[in-house]
């Protein structure tokens, strides 16, 4: 972990989406220096599934050694942004750092993304970042520190990152384009940078999306907080950078990244928009069910599909089904498999006791997955993570993404039998 230096003592940090997760972690790191934190977030009342409000975050910030100003802010509302900025300046005398962390996500393709979801992502991610920056810039220009940090990815134009979730990518890249433009526009006055994790980061939202067990493949929010702290220590001349958390911490001399892992030594999920795999921090990855490196696997000729392997896999899956699994999943999956022993198959986890079979399910599938027969068998035997397959383009998904991710938990339970 990166030690605090006290450099941010008395500085005012305005953070959107700071009531929980990454935003709160950055706030707490700065608070340990004695910083003033403006918590600009929507959650004034406790969410039934997500812990944390702007008021509970304020108490934690005070306990950590900082001062806090909780403000109810929906970044889609320009008036709420302006009001929070005015309150921050009135209470603390200015704004030194802005962190644009608030974001919305829907990992759905073009035909599966409702207009309401498109508007939500565009208005929170791109427009919200732009408007919050615009409101803070007059005060940032007066600061000796003067940093804007957007939690957004490098502008990777590989079509892989557009084809599965085009709207989300456009909205997220809009935040990154704010970095590109504003860094140049305010060069010498304000440092404007982007920060993005190399791996999945474990938050309550990730728990909801990925289900129980996803945490072992993630790092803690602390790695983002430490990386952000590194950036805030840099001069205004450090601007226009698209920073990966692990890389900047290596430059700071951090060598042991096990301290950031939820489960040290376990293979980690790479984050979106990065073409490289994260370093798997383990000497013996095979003992943790580690996956082969994607680049190595793609460089080798594809293995010959095993005759009858899909049928055998479904037979074992059927034997593993129970009412408890059905009750916990409540979804129908359809598999479009190419190659030997392929065709259309289904896994019904809605009907009593569950069912599997060849052909289309009797009721409409919630999720349709398309892949090769060989990758299907690898997925169900634990040799290929569905998330990795999806992000590398080997698995195409239509339908409810949350239910698709839920299937990974079921696969983990069956690995020992396959």
Predicted pLDDT at 313: 86
If asked whether residues 205 and 316 sit together in one domain, one would say no
> Is-contact 241 193, C-beta < 8 A?
yes
Query: Residue 146 and residue 79: Cα distance in Å, rounded?
Result: 23
Nearest of 152, 164, 197, 163 to residue 16 by alpha carbon: 152
| Per-residue b or e along 173-209, where b marks 16 or more CB atoms closer than 10 Å to that residue's CB | bbbbbbbeebbeebeeebbbbbbbbbbbbbbebbbeb
Query: What residues are labeled active site?
Result: 168
Indicate the number of domains in the chain.
Answer: 2
Band of the pLDDT at 278, cuts 50, 70, 90?
very low
The percentage of the chain sitting over the pLDDT mark of 70, rounded to a whole number, equals 88
Band of the pLDDT at 412, cuts 50, 70, 90?
low
Band of the pLDDT at 208, cuts 50, 70, 90?
low
In a domain, 267, yes or no: no
Predicted pLDDT at 27: 98
Does the pLDDT value for residue 200 go beyond 50?
Answer: yes
Query: Residue 78 and residue 135: Cα distance in Å, rounded?
Result: 9
Q: Tell me, what CATH number does 183's domain have?
A: 3.40.50.720
Q: How many CA atoms lie within 13 A of 241 on its CB side?
A: 20
If asked whether residues 210 and 313 sit together in one domain, one would say no
Between these two residues, 397 and 365, which has the higher pLDDT value?
Answer: 365
In a domain, 208, yes or no: yes
Between these two residues, 220 and 108, which has the higher pLDDT value?
Answer: 220
The residue written with tokens 């009342």 in the block is 45
In a domain, 268, yes or no: no
Band of the pLDDT at 414, cuts 50, 70, 90?
low
Q: What share of the chain is helix, strand, coil (3-state, %, to 5)?
A: 45, 15, 40
The residue written with tokens 């804007």 in the block is 148
Residue 41's domain comprises 12-260
> Is-contact 3 34, C-beta < 8 A?
no
Neighbour-count burial of 115, counting CB atoms closer than 10 A to its CB (0-12 exposed, 13-18 middle, 19+ buried): exposed
DSSP code for 257: G
Note the Cα 250 to chain centre separation in Å.
21
If asked whether residues 328 and 250 sit together in one domain, one would say no
Q: Is 72 helix (H, G, I), strand (E, B) or coil?
A: strand
Between these two residues, 383 and 357, which has the higher pLDDT value?
Answer: 357
Query: Residue 45 and residue 37: Cα distance in Å, rounded?
Result: 19
Q: Which residues are CB-contacts of 354 (< 8 A; sequence separation ≥ 6)? A: 318, 321, 322, 323, 325, 326, 347, 348
If asked whether residues 323 and 245 sit together in one domain, one would say no
* Long-range CB contacts for residues 84-89, cutoff 8 Å, separation at least 24: 84/14, 84/38, 84/40, 85/14, 85/135, 85/136, 85/139, 87/38, 88/12, 88/14, 88/38, 89/139
Among 260, 279, 298, the domain-final residue is 260
Q: Is 242 helix (H, G, I), strand (E, B) or coil?
A: strand
Does the pLDDT value for residue 1 go beyond 80?
Answer: no
Note the pLDDT tens digit of each residue in 378-408: 888 777 777 677 766 778 888 877 777 777 7
Q: Alpha-carbon torsion 28, 151, 406, 413, what sign?
A: negative
Among 203, 226, 260, the domain-final residue is 260
pLDDT (mean) for 45-66: 90
Q: Tell me, what CATH number does 326's domain have?
A: 3.30.1050.10
In a domain, 291, yes or no: no
The residue written with tokens 């080798």 in the block is 300
If asked whether residues 17 and 107 sit together in one domain, one would say yes
If asked whether residues 236 and 318 sit together in one domain, one would say no
Among 260, 275, 297, the domain-final residue is 260
Note the pLDDT tens digit of each residue in 128-181: 999 999 999 999 999 999 999 999 999 999 888 998 899 999 999 999 999 999
> Is-contact 339 326, C-beta < 8 A?
no
HEC string for 30-50: HHCCCCEEEEEECCCCCCCCC
């Amino acid at each position: 972990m990166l030690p605090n230096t006290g450099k941010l003592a008395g500085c005012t940090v305005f953070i959107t989406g700071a009531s929980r997760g990454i935003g709160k972690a950055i706030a707490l790191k700065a608070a340990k220096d004695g910083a003033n934190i403006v918590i600009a977030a929507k959650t004034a009342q406790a969410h039934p599934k997500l812990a944390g409000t702007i008021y509970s975050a304020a108490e934690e910030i005070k306990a950590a050694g900082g001062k806090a100003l909780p403000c109810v802010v929906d970044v889609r509302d320009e008036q709420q942004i302006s009001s929070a900025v005015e309150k921050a300046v009135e209470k603390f005398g200015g704004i030194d750092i802005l962190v644009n962390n608030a974001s919305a996500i829907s990992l759905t393709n073009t035909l599966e993304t409702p207009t309401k979801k498109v508007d939500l992502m565009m208005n929170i991610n791109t427009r919200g970042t732009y408007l919050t920056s615009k409101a803070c810039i007059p005060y940032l220009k007066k600061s000796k520190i003067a940093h804007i940090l957007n939690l957004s990815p490098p502008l990777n134009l590989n079509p892989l990152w557009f084809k599965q979730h085009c709207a989300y990518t456009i909205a997220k890249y809009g935040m990154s384009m704010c970095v590109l433009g504003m860094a140049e526009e305010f060069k010498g006055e304000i440092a404007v940078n982007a920060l993005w994790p190399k791996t999945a980061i474990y938050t309550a939202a990730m728990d909801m999306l990925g289900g129980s067990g996803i945490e072992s493949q993630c790092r803690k929010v602390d790695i983002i907080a430490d990386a952000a702290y590194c950036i805030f220590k840099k001069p205004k001349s450090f601007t226009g950078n698209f920073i990966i958390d692990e890389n900047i911490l290596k430059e700071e001399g951090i060598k042991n990244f096990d301290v950031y892992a939820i489960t040290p030594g376990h293979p980690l999920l790479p984050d979106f928009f990065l073409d490289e795999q994260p370093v798997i921090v383990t000497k013996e990855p095979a003992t943790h069910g580690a996956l082969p490196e994607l680049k190595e696997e793609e460089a080798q000729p594809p293995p010959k599909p095993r005759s009858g392997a899909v049928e055998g896999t479904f037979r074992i899956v059927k034997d593993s089904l129970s009412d408890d699994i059905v009750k916990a999943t409540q979804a129908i999956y359809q598999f479009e498999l190419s190659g030997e022993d392929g065709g259309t198959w289904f896994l019904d986890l809605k009907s009593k006791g569950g069912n599997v079979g060849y052909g289309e399910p009797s009721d409409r599938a919630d999720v349709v997955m398309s892949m090769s027969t060989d990758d299907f068998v690898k997925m169900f035997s634990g040799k290929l993570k569905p998330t990795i397959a999806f992000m590398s383009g080997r698995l195409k998904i239509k339908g409810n993404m949350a239910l698709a991710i839920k299937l990974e938990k079921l696969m983990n339970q069956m690995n020992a039998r396959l």
